[in-house]
Amino acid sequence: MKYKLLGRSGLAVSELCLGTMTFGNTTSESESIEMIERFVEQGGNFLDTANVYVGGKSEEIVGKAMKNKRSDIVLATKVRMSTSDDINGSGLSRKHIMDSVEASLKRLQTDYIDLYQVHTWDAATPIEETLRALDDLVSSGKVRYIGCSNFYSWQLMKSLACSEMNRYVKFISIQPQYSLVSRQMDREMLSLCKEENIGFIPWAPLGGGFLTGRYNRSEPTEGRLTAKAGESSWGLRANERNFQVLDAVQSVAEQLGKTPAQVALRWLNQLEGMTSPIFGARTLEQFNDNMGAIGWEMPQEVWNQLNEVSALEADYPNRFIDKFKRNI
């Protein structure tokens, strides 16, 4: 397992992050704990959860699993989504943040969170209020670093500017959706992260299962992609461009003697600006398959092939700006 620094910090995280959204739901507690133990044994130190995953059950399981190895784990969780029917039970107000962090700490059986992430933007709360609350949590020792997720580029930049101006702690990472079949972050976000040295830790690196090789052009009758809504629904994934990407991934997998999932994750690991893709696994078999993405290098010409087939069509202002790049 290799490690990278998380953004503009001295915090080293493993090149893969274990996502825990299925823990306590489609993955049993015992299997979830075993998954974490195997991950740590193989050098993984980065775990991602959220206070709303399975109604808090995911955090509880993670807490049990890391109880005797807390100092070896970089623990990330999130705040923003609704945790109750109360009018203040969601958002990024000071109240909701302070209430939520205490609940998360209790479920996680720890007295600090390594990376506390805002799950998405809250237009109802001034970003100054949110960042001040997060700054206080860092000062108190309950949180060590902060990050964001599912932001527009301007929202991240506005947040960084606000922290700079008020001398608040800054976001060191962002967690967006990103994969070979979801490269919208190439338009602005990825270049912003490179410029400001923001850690890039994408979710759904396998396109919600689309890139595992399990699916073909026939509409599936079971599996996650059968969902009628959501970013990883069949309605959003099933288009000819994505199938061409999938064909290329499967071809490369056969050529290299790897699985499609391993190829898709390895491509991400070798992308400039990438920190740590967050992979999820419903079963230990899936976990073992995903962990096969480490310990080898994809040949550059093969990486380029996948990059080309998955690249977004050139658009404005990128195609205009690229014409005037200065090579000095």
pLDDT in tens, 102-161: 999 999 999 999 999 999 999 999 999 999 999 999 999 999 999 999 999 999 999 999
By annotation, the residues acting in catalysis are 53
Give 4's pLDDT tier (boundaries 50, 70, 90).
Answer: very high
Domain boundaries, the chain: 3-322
Helix, strand, coil fractions of the chain, as percent rounded to 5 = 45, 15, 40
> Which amino acid belongs to residue 21?
M
Q: What's the predicted TM-score (pTM) here? A: 0.96
* pLDDT for the residue 221: 78
How far the first Cα of the chain sits from its last, in Å, is: 36
> Which amino acid belongs to residue 58?
S
* pLDDT for the residue 252: 98
Give buried/exposed letters for 260-275 (b at 16+ CB in 10 A, else e): bbbbbbbbbbebebbb
How far are the Cα atoms of 150, 164, 184, 307, 308 from residue 191, in angstroms, in the given order?
Answer: 16, 20, 12, 16, 18
pLDDT, tens digit, 9 for 90 and up, residues 198-219: 999 999 999 999 999 998 888 8
Look-up of token digits 């309950």? 142
| Cβ(7)–Cβ(195) below 8 Å | no
HSE on the CB side for 241, CA within 13 Å? 12
Q: 326 pLDDT exceeds 90? A: no
Of the chain, the percentage scoring pLDDT greater than 70 comes to: 100
Look-up of token digits 């020792």? 141
pLDDT, tens digit, 9 for 90 and up, residues 32-81: 999 999 999 999 999 999 999 999 999 999 999 998 999 999 999 999 99
Distance CA 171, CA 198 (A): 8
Distance CA 71, CA 114 (A): 10
Between 211 and 223, the more confident residue is 211
Structure token pair of residue 158: 């506005």
Distance CA 262, CA 213 (A): 10
Fold that domain 3-322 belongs to in CATH: TIM Barrel (3.20.20)
Judged by average pLDDT, the poorest of 60-69, 70-79, 83-92, 225-234 is 225-234
| CB neighbour list of residue 186: distance below 8 Å, 6 or more residues apart | 311, 312
> Which amino acid belongs to residue 12?
A
Give 232's pLDDT tier (boundaries 50, 70, 90).
Answer: confident
Q: 228 pLDDT exceeds 90? A: no
Distance CA 65, CA 44 (A): 14
